[in-house]
């Protein structure tokens, strides 16, 4: 069998990275954007699925790499385009199923000599399940925040 696939030249090889390498600029950059978005949503007590966003972004890269490899025999990372990942998709109440809350406890020291560790309830974790891949999301609400919520 004749190998029609041309080997990448020196310059092309420099742009080639392993498909599973998650330290490439594109992934690192995206991770930062997603994590900032997640932080912003969770601060506003809204669930956001960073896990799915990262998977989908990864898939988008993989798909383009495979296509480039099929066409050229190698992949050029400079040609990867991922700006069409829509982050809006990873938030919004339709995406999540709300699960029962769980208590957020914090140890407040030991009672008596060698006694039991005492814990105080400092708030709750509001738990969600992402419908797409079953990702678990937990958002911490302090007691004060819960009080404020009740008054709304
Ligand atoms: Zn998810």
* Chain CA centroid to CA 140, Å: 17
Gap from CA of 54 to ligand 1 centroid (Å): 9
Gap from CA of 90 to ligand 1 centroid (Å): 7
Show the CA angle centred on residue 19, arms to residues 17 and 64, nearest 5°: 100
Calpha distance 130→137 (Å, rounded):
7
Helix (H, G, I), strand (E, B) or coil at 59: helix
Gap from CA of 87 to ligand 1 centroid (Å): 12
* Chain CA centroid to CA 1, Å: 44
Residue 125 has pLDDT above 80, yes or no: yes
Gap from CA of 4 to ligand 1 centroid (Å): 41
Gap from CA of 77 to ligand 1 centroid (Å): 26
Gap from CA of 114 to ligand 1 centroid (Å): 43
List Cβ neighbours of 30 (8 Å cut-off, separation of 6 or more). Answer: 54, 57, 82, 85
The number of beta carbons lying within 10 Å of the beta carbon of residue 15 is 14
Gap from CA of 102 to ligand 1 centroid (Å): 20
User: How do residues 16-42 score in pLDDT, each as one tens digit?
Assistant: 555 455 667 788 889 999 999 999 999
How much is the pLDDT for 12? Answer: 61
pTM of the full structure: 0.76
Gap from CA of 12 to ligand 1 centroid (Å): 35
Gap from CA of 72 to ligand 1 centroid (Å): 33
Gap from CA of 108 to ligand 1 centroid (Å): 34
User: How do residues 79-106 score in pLDDT, each as one tens digit?
Assistant: 888 777 889 999 999 999 999 999 999 8
Looking at residue 83, the DSSP 8-state letter turns out to be T
Calpha distance 22→20 (Å, rounded):
6
Mean pLDDT of 59-66: 90
């Amino acid at each position: 069998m004749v190998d029609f696939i041309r080997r990448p030249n020196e310059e092309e090889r420099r742009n080639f990275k392993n498909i599973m390498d998650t330290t490439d600029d594109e992934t690192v950059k995206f991770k930062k954007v997603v994590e900032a978005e997640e932080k912003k949503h969770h601060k506003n007590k809204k669930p956001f699925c960073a896990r799915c966003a990262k998977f989908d972004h990864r898939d988008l890269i993989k798909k383009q790499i495979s296509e480039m490899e099929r066409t050229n025999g190698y992949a050029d990372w400079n040609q990867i385009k991922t700006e069409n990942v829509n982050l809006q998709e990873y938030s919004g109440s339709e995406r999540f199923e709300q699960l029962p809350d769980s208590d957020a406890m914090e140890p407040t020291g030991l009672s008596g000599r060698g006694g039991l560790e005492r814990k105080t309830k400092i708030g709750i974790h509001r738990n969600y399940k992402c419908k797409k891949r079953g990702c678990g999301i937990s958002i911490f609400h302090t007691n004060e925040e819960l009080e404020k919520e009740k008054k709304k």
